[in-house]
Amino acid sequence: MHRRLLAEFLGTGLLVAVVVGSGIAAERLSPDDVGLQLLQNSTATVLGLAVLILLFGPVSGAHFNPVVSVADWWLGRRSGGGLSGAELAAYVVAQGAGGIVGALLANVMFSVDAAMATTERTGTGLLAGEVVATAGLVLLIFALVRSGRAAVVAPAVGAYIGAAYWFTSSTSFANPAVTVGRMFTDTFAGIAPSSVLPFVGAQLVGGAVGVLLVLVLYPVPTPVRI
């Protein structure tokens, strides 16, 4: 278990470091072009996330996301697998701590002063974007796992998050641990503390929608390969 928790801590932390660090670099490289900044930020996130899943997946499953861990626990209750309640709690703590450390690490690497984020991310549209992004992420992961295609999770999840950066209004946080971590950097990727709770609430709703869709579309895990 200690290896799995370390993997979740490191994986979530490095994911946030990739998101925040590439956002800072994008701001500095393309200060007058927000679209180009987002392209640079999303490209780094796609590649970094896929690599991290490949690196830590064999150890912990590479959840890096409390919503994914909750979904794994819930779906596992029906099939006799997945995380136990105690394991779920430990995963969430490790992921949350990793997210915070990852943001602070990015600040240090780019010599950014420690400060809470001031970027307000509010509005019904952004919250709807988080519901959609998180529901799609949960559906994708468990659809692949339950249909015997877990080997392609890393590139598929990376591709989905990269696309969701652009097709959702919120730029697809889709992860409570990443959202909390991004509160600790007042940079391109930051989110103000006042915006965090609504975002996390929307992500939890999206996770529930994703789980329902999994149960409807893939009610029984099968080894089918397409």
In the three-class reduction of DSSP (H, G, I as helix; E, B as strand; rest coil), residue 83 is classed as coil
SS3 readout for 94-139: HHHHHHHHHHHHHHHHCCCCCCCCCCCCCCHHHHHHHHHHHHHHHH
pTM of the model: 0.94
Query: 2-216 maps to which CATH number?
Result: 1.20.1080.10
The tokens for 81 are 């697998």
Cα 196 to its chain centre, rounded Å, is 14
SS3 readout for 166-196: HHCCCCCCCCHHHHHHHHHCCCCCCCCHHHH
Residues 82 and 182: their CA atoms lie apart, in Å, by: 28
Average pLDDT per 10 consecutive residues for the chain, totaling 226 residues: 97 98 97 96 98 98 98 87 93 98 98 95 97 98 95 97 97 97 97 98 98 95 61
Q: Domain map of the chain by residue range?
A: 2-216
DSSP H or E segment with residue 145 = helix 124-146
Q: Which of 64, 65, 42 is nearest to 162 (CA)?
A: 42
In the three-class reduction of DSSP (H, G, I as helix; E, B as strand; rest coil), residue 222 is classed as coil
Give residues with Cβ within 8 angstroms of 22, minimum separation 6. Answer: 40, 41, 43, 44, 45, 48
